[in-house]
Amino acid sequence: MSGPFADITETVFAEKSVLSESYQPEEILERDEEIDAFSHALQDVLFGREPENLFLYGKAGLGKTAVTKYMMEELKSEVKTRDEADELHVHEINCNGKTLFMVVRRLTNNLLPPEASSFPKRGLGTGDAFEELYQQLDRLGGTHLIVFDEIDHLDDVNTLLYELPRARSNDQISDSLVGIIGISNNYTFRQTLSSKVKDTLMETEISFSPYDAGELRTILHDRADRAFVDGGCDDSAIAKAAALSAQDMGNARQALDLLRVGAEEAERQDDNIVVDTHIEEARTLVQRGRLRNKIRDQTEHAQYILETIAKLENRGEVPARSKTIQDGYEQVAEAYGTTPLTTLKSIQDHLSDLHMLGFLLRHERNQGLSGGQYYEYELDLDPMIVLETREDIIQSSE
C-alpha cells in the first residue's frame, strides 16, 4: 500500500502540543521575582482576609497570563492545606471586545447554580447585573479572585474598579471576600483611570520586563526537552530562536512560535533534526503570519488602498502620488461592489495612518521652483503578502 501519506514515517516531535499556545507550563521559569511579589500580594487569602487587588503590566508574550494561571493553581492547592483560609473561587474573564455589562453578566452566570436560568441578555442594566453578582458571591461565600485579562480593553473600566473593590465596605456583600487581578499591556493604564478610582483603588502592581536571550533559552530548553524526541533539536537552533526574539521585544510567545514553526519546516524538508537554518526560515514565515494578521485588522478601505499600491508596485509604478493611488483605489473598491470614499483628503488620511503603522514608505518631494511639496508612497513589505492576504480574505468571506 502506498498513498500520499505513506512516506511520512518520522517526526522530530515527541509531544508537539508542548509548543502550542494553549499549553500551560507546569513550571514557570525566570520569573522568580514576579512570583514572589504575586505571593505576597495574595497572602491574605491564606489567612481568610480580604485579598489585595493586583495589577500586572507588560508587553505581549512576557508571561503575564501564564504566571497568573500558575499562581491561581498553586494558591488553590495551598488553600486546601490551610485551616484559616476560606474556600477559594477563581474566575477568569477576558475583557477584549466586551462591555462592562457583558463582563458582569458573564461573571454572574459563572456563579449561578447549574439549575438557575442565566442572567438575561436584554432588559436589565449593568446595575442589575452587579446586584445579582453580589447576591451570588454571598450565596457561595468564601474568597473570590477575579482575573480580568486585557482589562484596558474594557469600555467602562472606571465603574468596574469603583464598584467591585468597594462592594464589601459598601455592604453589598458580607459573606464573601473579593480580590481583583487586572492584566494589561498598557504600562500607563493606571493614569487612564478617573481620579475617583485612582484615589480609592488600593492595589499592588507588578511589571513584567522583556526576557533577555539567556532567559528565553532557559524557557525554550525546558519546552524542547519535552516537545522533541531525543536529539530532535539542536542547541544552536534554540539559541537562535532565543536570540532573535530577544532582539525583538523579548517575547516568549514569539520564541516558542519560532521553535515550533522551525520544527515544522524541518519536517517538511524531511530533516530529522531542527537546526539554525530552520529557525531562520521560520522567522520569515512567522513575520509573514504577523503581517497577514495586521493587514486583516485594517478597515476595508485601508485594505483596498494597500491592494491598490501592491498592484501599482507590481506594474513598477511606485512610488506613487496620492492622486494616482486614489484613481486605482476607486477601481478596486468598485470591483468589490463598495462605494469608494470620495475625497482625496480621506485617502491621504488613510495613507498617513498606513505609513504610521509601518505598511508604507513615504517620500517627500519638492515641486521645483513652484515650491510645492507632496508625498509619494510605496509598500514597506512584499506586495505578494498583501495580494495573497486579500485573496484569502475574499475567499473566506464568500
Planar angle of CA 310, 313, 317, nearest 5 degrees: 135
Using the contact rule CB under 5 A, the part of the chain among 20-28, 64-72, 207-215, 275-283 near Mg ion is 64-72
User: Which partner in Mg ion, ligand ATP, none is near 30 (CB below 5 to 8 A by kind)?
Assistant: ligand ATP
Is residue 25 a contact residue for ligand ATP (CB under 6 A)?
yes
Q: Which of 256, 274, 325, 351 binds ligand ATP (CB under 6 A)?
A: 256
| x/- letters, 193..222, toward ligand ATP (CB under 6 A) | --------------------------x---
| Cα separations in angstroms, 98 against 94, 102, 154, 157, 306 | 8, 6, 6, 11, 29
Identify whether the C-beta of residue 309 lies closer than 8 Å to the C-beta of residue 361.
no
> For residue 10, what are the β-bridge partners?
none
Burial 20-56 (b: 16+ CB within 10 A, else e): eeebebeebbbbeebbebbeebbebbbebeebbbbbb
Q: How far is the CB of 38 from Mg ion (least distance, A)?
A: 15
With CB under 5 to 8 Å by kind, the binding choice for 217 among ligand ATP, Mg ion, none is none
Query: Binding residue per annotation — 223?
Result: yes
Collapsing DSSP to helix, strand or coil, 82 comes out as: coil
Cα–Cα dist 107/93, whole Å: 8
Q: Is residue 185 a contact residue for ligand ATP (CB under 6 A)?
A: yes
Compare residues 65 and 303 and give the one whose CB is closer to Mg ion: 65
CA distances from 150 to 58, 65, 120, 189 (A): 11, 10, 25, 11
Question: Looking at beta carbons only, is 63 or 182 nearer to ligand ATP?
Answer: 63
| Smaller CB separation from Mg ion, 65 or 251 | 65
CA–CA dist 300, 249 (Å, integer): 29
Cα 126 to Cα 164: distance, rounded to the nearest angstrom: 12
Residue 221 C-beta: closest distance to ligand ATP, Å: 11
Q: Is 290 known to sit in a ligand binding site? A: no
Nearest-CB residue for Mg ion: 65
Q: Which residue stretch of 21-29, 231-239, 293-301, 363-371 sits at the interface with ligand ATP (rule: CB under 6 A)? A: 21-29
Q: Which is nearer to Mg ion, 65 or 308 (CB)?
A: 65
Residue nearest to ligand ATP (CB): 63
H/E element holding 57? Answer: strand 53-57
In 3-state terms, what secondary structure has residue 396? Answer: helix
Judged by CB under 6 A, the residue of 14, 29, 249, 285 near ligand ATP is: 29
Q: For ligand ATP, which is the closer residue by CB, 62 or 239?
A: 62
Task: Find residue 176's DSSP bridge partners.
Answer: 142
Residue (18 or 320) nearer to ligand ATP, CB: 18
Conformation bin of residue 371: beta by default, left when phi > 0, alpha when psi is -120 to 50: left
Can residue 28 be called a binding residue for ligand ATP (CB under 6 A)?
yes
Q: Within a 10 A sphere around the Cβ of 198, how many other Cβ atoms?
A: 13
Separation between Cα atoms, residue 38 and residue 27, nearest integer Å: 15
Tell me, residue by residue from 31 to 70, as one string, x for binding to ligand ATP by CB under 6 A and - for no binding. x--------------------------x-xxxxxxx----
65 binds Mg ion (CB under 5 A): yes
| Sequence ranges of the binding site | 211, 223
Q: Which parts of this chain interact with ligand ATP (CB under 6 A)? A: 21, 25, 28-31, 58, 60-66, 185, 219, 252-253, 256
Residues of the binding site for ATP:
211, 223
The residues that touch Mg ion, with contacts defined as CB under 5 A, are 65
